[in-house]
Structure formats: structure tokens, C-alpha cells
Structure 1
Amino acid sequence: MSFSGKKSGHMSSAPRIAPAQILAVASGKGGVGKTWLSTTLAASFAKAGKRTLLIDGDFGCANVDVQLGIAPDTDLAAVMAGWVELDDAVTPVNGGAGTQGGFDVLPGRSGSGVLAELPKDDAARLAAGLTTLAMQYDMVLVDLAAGIDANVMRLARAADRALVVANDEPTSMTDAYAFIKVLRGYAPSVTPWIAVNMADTRVAGRRTYEALARASQTFLGFRPPLAGIVLRDSKVREAIRTQKTLLSIYPNAQAAIDAEQIAEAILRGGADSIAEAS
């Protein structure tokens, strides 16, 4: 299995001087809109002029390609099987990275035992390969599987920051806190941020964030910053159903505006976002 080789035609032929910022998008449990937020953030970074790569790191239950309506020729499972190089598994979306609003995707494969049961050493090598691939981009997002299993944490450790997505359900908040706790022990150099999704109001979203922040401060000794709050929006379901990014079909939808504000906060690197704005 090799992670070096030819560069895909839509990618830069020369590496960047510095690697991209790597953002792992995580959640303690499924069903909180993590993958939707990952694809929308990728579109937001691309709109901001950043060469962006979105990696489907949900081993075994990948669905980034489904949400985006793309049919990749190859994927991470083929890479891990040694059939193709990592670079050649990259698929362009809306023209690919470097085009207006376009970005690249490194797809996984739903139900693949090759990825779902990836051995420790191969997972570590994949994480290292992704770090090398980041030299081609300004921003790299890794849509992690929900939960805290070992391979999830190995990929998270390769990131600069982790965006932990949660909503107001008690199980979501409990599991989000569990992810933050494990991440702090496993990869203390990776800064966790919190994004509250599907909030009924900004006040309710802030309440969800404060509950997680207080628990982290009390038991872990630090307060994770708030990246932003995404209000509940019926346009999100429509975008997922049509397999398009929300920004491409409903750029003025509230959830699209909220996601763009999160992207802006991440690019600024500030401690607390503009989640209470507008």
C-alpha cells in the first residue's frame, strides 16, 4: 500500500510551501448533521477562495458522496487495497479545488470491510498520508465517523483542530463531551471547538454550548471555544434530498449563512465565534 504517486489532473502539480489547516469534524453520536455540516463548510471555504479537500473518514459508513450526488471512480477502499494511489482517489466537486465554489473530495465506501476493520498500523499510515496530501490545499476537512473508537481518534490526532457537532438532545451532549474528554487525553495538541446544529433559537443554541463548556471547564480544566450555532432550517433537508450543497441552491438560507459564519470563525482562529450575530 502506497500513499505517494501521480497527481490527479485537477490538482496542483507542485505542493504548497506549507500544509493546509486540517479540521476534523466529529460528533459523539450520529444524527446531529455532522456530514451535512462538513460538506457545507467545504463549500464555504471554497467560496472564500480556499483550495479545499473534504475527506470522508467515516470508515464503513461513508456517505459524503451520496450527500453530494457524486459517483467517484475510486475511493479510500481502493487506496487501502493498493489498487490506486491516494492522490488519484480525489474527486472534484463543482469543478474541483481552485475553481469558483469548487472543492475536492476523497470519498470512502459505505459498508467496506477494508475500511471498517482497518488495522492500527494502516490507520496510522493513512493519517500520515492525509497529512502529506494536505500540502496541496489551504483547508482540509475530515468527516469522522461518530463516536470515539480507535481509528476515529487516530484520524482526529492528525488534525489541527476538531469541530465537535452537537444538538440539544441529552445523548448528543453527553457523547460530545465524551469525545472532547477522550480527545484531550489522546491528542492534547488538537483544539476542540463546538458547533451547535439544528438549534431552535440562538438562545437555545447558546444554552447547549454553555452546558458543554461548563462540563469541560469543571472536569477537564478548559473551556472549548464556540465555533457557531446553526439554526434549524427546512432548506437543509431539501438540499440533502437533491444531493446538492446548500450554498449552491439556497445560498441565502439561514443555515447556509450560519455555516459560512462558522467557516469565517475557523479561518480567523478566534476564541469565540460570531454565533450570536444576525
Structure 2
Amino acid sequence: MANSSPVQVIAVTGGKGGVGKSNVSINLSLALADLGRKVTLLDADLGLANIDVLLGITAKGNISDVISGDLSLRDILVEGPKGIKIVPAASGTQKMVALNHLEHAGLINAFSELSQDLDVLIVDTAAGISDGVVSFVRAAQEVLVVVTDEPTSITDAYALIKLLNRDYDMYRFRVLANMVRSPEEGRHLFSKLTSVTERFLDVALQYVGSVPYDENVRKAVQRQRPVLEAYPRAKASIAFKQLAQKADSWPLPSTPRGHLEFFVERLVQA
């Protein structure tokens, strides 16, 4: 009965573009695969796909083929490094950015057909706070907010948390500081964020650590390979392994929360 256990769904988000969400999503996926988890990575930046580019893989189809009904999710899955499965997004299609609520719901529900083959779904969201980002984040049970040491990163992360908290009653967020010069810088970034959230919102933020700025990440991106695979002993790779160990111990959902979410039928069964 192993496959009726809940799937852990982690949305990687941050509000601002350029904070390294896709790199975090890819390397966290690989580090979880190293722990023996069956991982699927969804490129949820529906109109500006970049996971396939970052990994140098060619997709046969993508999410737009699923939305149009031409292919199933299984048909478009691509095998990535360390056996992870990737759900590629479309590139440069305006209509994918403007999906309505029903289309998002259809897509989230479509994942149920994959649920036998996975333990963890990582959702790499688009930048910003569009309806699409909100749909995917609400449908996950863990929200990993990626911040960097730029004023706009903290303000955008705050805006995203505020929107999810005020409009959708979400109150639990995990925060990762990316591309930091030192562990202290990461903790300082977290305290900057909590100083605003504690004043204005009723939320619980948990700091899950930091990933150091590492030249090897840039080199890996240029080679279209994840840093964890290209440079397994790099400082960033070690940080991603530590993050995966933490994520692996986060509690799994036990009951449906009464709104649209990934793999809800597994929770009902369980």
C-alpha cells in the first residue's frame, strides 16, 4: 500500500524574478532523489519555460498539449538527471500565461494520474503574484519562499506572503535565503522579512537555511547541468543536500484542506 501515502508537494516561489527559484527547484529535486525519493518537478512558469533549458533536455510535448487535450501528463514527462521526472512548460505562449481558474484546476487535478509513481512533487512557480502563481502555491502544502539580498526581493516576498495570508488564509511559510555571502547574511535577510511580517500579518515563517553564492552554480548553468550533479562537492551543492534532508522530514498532509490541491484523492483515501 506504499503508493496510497500522501505526496509531499513543495511550491518554490518568491515573488521576484531572478532569485534562483528554478535552480533551487532543480537541485532540491535531485537532492531528494539522492535520498531515495521518487521526485517529479513541475515547471509551473507556464509561458516562459526554463527547466528544460537549464537541464539541456528536449521535451516532446509540454503543458499546453495537456491543456488542449492532445496529450496526457504521462505523455509529456521527461526523464531528468538522477531519474527525476520533469513536466515541461511551454515557451513564449501568451495563452498559457492567461489560463483561467478552471484550466488551472484541470491541470492540478490531472496530476492525480501520476500519483502512483511519486513521493514528492516540486512546483517551480513563475515570478510575480499572478492568479497562476497563487493557484499553484495554494495547491501545495509546503511553500518555500526564496529570498536574496536585494531590497526588491524582500518587498516582493512580503507582498506574496501578504496576498496568500490575507486573501487565502495561508499562514505557514518556509524561507530560504539564496546566493548569500555568509550564513549570517541569510539569517539577517530572514529577520528583515520577519520584522515586517510580524508587524502586519498573522503568519508563521520558518527559516530553513541558506544557499551560499557559488561560482560553480553559474558554471553549471552554462553547461546546462544542475550544480549538484556537475559539482557535487561545491558549497551550494552541500547546502542543497542539507535543505533536502530538512524537507524530507517536513510533515505530510493528513486531511484535505477544503480547497483545490494536488493529489487530494490520496488524502481522502488515506
Unaligned runs of 5+ in 2: 252-270
Tell me if the contact between 1:25 and 1:163 (Cα under 8 Å) persists in the aligned partners. Answer: yes
When residues 24 and 135 of structure 1 are mapped into structure 2, their CA distance, relative to the original with a 3 A threshold, is farther
Which position in structure 1 is the counterpart of 2:154?
A: 173
Residue 78 (str. 1) matches residue 65 (str. 2): yes
Residue 220 (str. 1) matches residue 205 (str. 2): no
Superposition deviation, residue 124 in structure 1: 1.7
Residue 261 (str. 1) matches residue 242 (str. 2): yes
Q: TM-score of the superposition, structure 2-length normalised?
A: 0.88
Tell me if the contact between 2:172 and 2:204 (Cα under 8 Å) persists in the aligned partners. Answer: no
Residue 155 (str. 1) matches residue 136 (str. 2): yes
Superposition deviation, residue 132 in structure 1: 5.0
- SS state at 1:31 partner: coil
User: Which of 186, 211, 231 pairs up with 1:250?
Assistant: 231
Work out the CA distance in 2 between the residues paired with 1:202 and 1:228: 8
Work out the CA distance in 1 between the residues paired with 2:2 and 2:91: 30
Which position in structure 2 is the counterpart of 1:43?
A: 30
The structure where helix makes up a greater share of residues is 2
Amino acid at match of 2:12: V
Residue 92 (str. 1) matches residue 73 (str. 2): no
Tell me if the contact between 2:171 and 2:202 (Cα under 8 Å) persists in the aligned partners. Answer: no
Tell me if the contact between 1:18 and 1:135 (Cα under 8 Å) persists in the aligned partners. Answer: no
Superposition deviation, residue 130 in structure 1: 2.7
- Matched ranges for 1:1-278 at <5 A: 16-94=3-81, 101-131=82-112, 133-189=114-170, 191-269=172-250
Amino acid at match of 1:78: D
Work out the CA distance in 1 between the residues paired with 2:196 and 2:167: 18
When residues 217 and 146 of structure 1 are mapped into structure 2, their CA distance, relative to the original with a 3 A threshold, is same
Deviations, residues 3-58 of structure 1 (Å, cap 9, x unaligned): xxxxxxxxxxx992123100000011101111011100111110110000000000
Tell me if the contact between 1:239 and 1:249 (Cα under 8 Å) persists in the aligned partners. Answer: yes
Work out the CA distance in 1 between the residues paired with 2:149 and 2:15: 13
Moved more, 106-115 or 201-210: 106-115
When residues 266 and 202 of structure 1 are mapped into structure 2, their CA distance, relative to the original with a 3 A threshold, is same
Which position in structure 1 is the counterpart of 2:257?
A: none
How many pairs were matched up? 251
When residues 205 and 127 of structure 1 are mapped into structure 2, their CA distance, relative to the original with a 3 A threshold, is same
Unaligned runs of 5+ in 1: 1-13, 95-100, 271-278
Work out the CA distance in 2 between the residues paired with 1:217 and 1:88: 45
Identity of aligned residues (%): 35
Work out the CA distance in 2 between the residues paired with 1:177 and 1:262: 22
Tell me if the contact between 1:80 and 1:114 (Cα under 8 Å) persists in the aligned partners. Answer: no
Tell me if the contact between 2:172 and 2:203 (Cα under 8 Å) persists in the aligned partners. Answer: no
Amino acid at match of 2:150: E
- Flag as ranges the 4+ runs of structure 1 deviating above 6 A: none
Superposition deviation, residue 190 in structure 1: 6.8
When residues 74 and 246 of structure 1 are mapped into structure 2, their CA distance, relative to the original with a 3 A threshold, is same
Superposition deviation, residue 138 in structure 1: 0.7
